[in-house]
Amino acid sequence: MAQFLGLTLLSAFITGILLIPFIDFLYKIKLRRQKQVTRDLFNKPTPYFDKFNAWKTGTPFGGGILIIIVVSILTLWAYGLLNVDFNLWQIFVVLFTLLGFGALGLYDDFKKLSDKKEGFFGLRFRYKFAIQWILAFIIAFILYSQLGYDFIFIKGFGLAVIGIFFIPLAAFIIVSFANAFNIADGLDGQASGLLLIALGAFLTISANQYDKSLGIFIAILMGSVAAFLYFNIYPARIWLGDVGSLALGASIAVIGLLTGKIIAIGFIGGVLILEVGSSLIQLLGKRYLGRKIFPVAPLHLYLQKRGWEEPKIVMRSWLLGFLFAIMGLYIALIK
């Protein structure tokens, strides 16, 4: 555990030192939100989001780029330095997730700047969604074929072997968390803070399982996200961008899958599920019932409409995320 904590501190220090010049760099290359209309998944204007977030115009996004670079390099360095007995496929799957979903998000971020006809929209959702599923199925197949994951642990029943059906289940979890994290990143500091809480829970699980290989990656990711959060707290000086939100959302799902505690994942990421669930219910209501279920969605936007101030929503989101993480830990660790 001492090595994990040391790596977390080192990662936080390096990311923190690099963030200030990196923010200046993003301003120079003009990777920041423009004065354009924000659109939803179906290319329709989102007036409530623009109303509550218009003042954030000009804030640079793309902080996820630095996190991905620092975490990838430090992870490879740490594995070599500590001479850890690791599974090569496990290293590959976590870094492939981080880099693969990060590359997709980076392309989407640049599309938002270059595609003037679509406004602040980026890559069309159907294309982005399809690529997410392709990446997720590749990752799920590696987990199944190379790492032997074909089970769900259910308290009271033990390991329930589901065989090849693990692949679509794992892919669904990865895609769900990637989009849930992306949605939750609508408020300054919310998604990053929730991720930090979830990583702390998964680090505890990996330490309990004596999985040093996975623990190293989690510890390094925690440090980098913690340093980023310092600059992402309201009012944010930098945002993750899709490059960060998709990569980190998918990564937290894969970390959870690698612990083998699929049921616990749903609790540890409980707030993220509430966010994406509220958006999904709203979309289904519009499509099949012809009306909105909620005045606005996702959940944090509904609370803003109710008059809650952004910092209040974020702080209570973190608190709820902490309680969910405790429940997830209890489920994961109980014998």
Position 121, amino acid: F
170/70 Cα distance (integer angstroms)? 27
pLDDT at 134 over 70: yes
Rounded average pLDDT over 7-30: 92
51/295 Cα distance (integer angstroms)? 15
Structural domain count, the chain:
1
The candidate with the shortest Cα–Cα distance to 204, out of 144, 140, 264, 271, is: 264
pTM value is 0.90
Per-residue pLDDT tens over the stretch 314-335: 999 999 999 999 999 998 888 6
pLDDT of residue 142: 96
Residue found by looking up tokens 């989102």 in the block: 46
Position 48, amino acid: Y
Q: What mean pLDDT is reported for the chain?
A: 87
Assigned token pair, 73:
């390099």
pLDDT at 23 over 80: yes
Rounded average pLDDT over 85-106: 92
pLDDT of residue 295: 87
Determine which of 5-14, 30-39, 71-80 has the lowest per-residue pLDDT on average: 30-39
pLDDT at 43 over 60: no
304/300 Cα distance (integer angstroms)? 6
The residues that bridge with 153 in the sheet, in sequence order, are: 159
pLDDT at 288 over 50: yes
263/267 Cα distance (integer angstroms)? 7
pLDDT at 167 over 80: yes
Determine which of 28-32, 51-55, 249-253, 294-298 has the lowest per-residue pLDDT on average: 51-55
Rounded average pLDDT over 251-264: 93
DSSP 42: T
What sign does the CA torsion over 179, 184, 186, 189 have? negative
253/241 Cα distance (integer angstroms)? 19
Residue 136 lies in domain: 2-333
